[in-house]
Amino acid sequence: IAGITQAPTSQILAAGRRMTLRCTQDMRHNAMYWYRQDLGLGLRLIHYSNTAGTTGKGEVPDGYSVSRANTDDFPLTLASAVPSQTSVYFCASSEVSGANVLTFGAGSRLTVL
């Protein structure tokens, strides 16, 4: 079934540790995104990529980095996790058009202690 695969589904991490959340899509979409979702704050954009080789910062990029080496993969890295990064992370993808419709993954629940 075409879509987005995120891994891990859930992770508990000690503060200060490095963590990479993986995201792979098989729809050949040009654009990919990372959002975090927190209770009461909704979905907030962390980073995005228009196409392979390019990335951009969203609303809350601090403490996170991304790379887009190819069309299908868009990993999100926390270089040194902090408790405020405890959240549910969603990867999404879309064609680049005037009103992009996003396809989301199932999410990765991250707890930083």
Q: Which residues bind another protein (CB under 8 A)?
A: 4, 31, 33, 35, 40-43, 45, 48, 58-59, 90, 92, 94, 96-107
User: How far apart (Å, rounded) are the C-alpha atoms in residues 6 and 61?
Assistant: 19
Residue 8: cis peptide before it, omega within 30 degrees of 0: yes
State which residue, 31 or 112, has the beta carbon closest to another protein.
31
Q: Least distance (Å) from another protein to the CB of residue 6?
A: 8
User: How far apart (Å, rounded) are the C-alpha atoms in residues 18 and 101?
Assistant: 32
State which residue, 14 or 97, has the beta carbon closest to another protein.
97
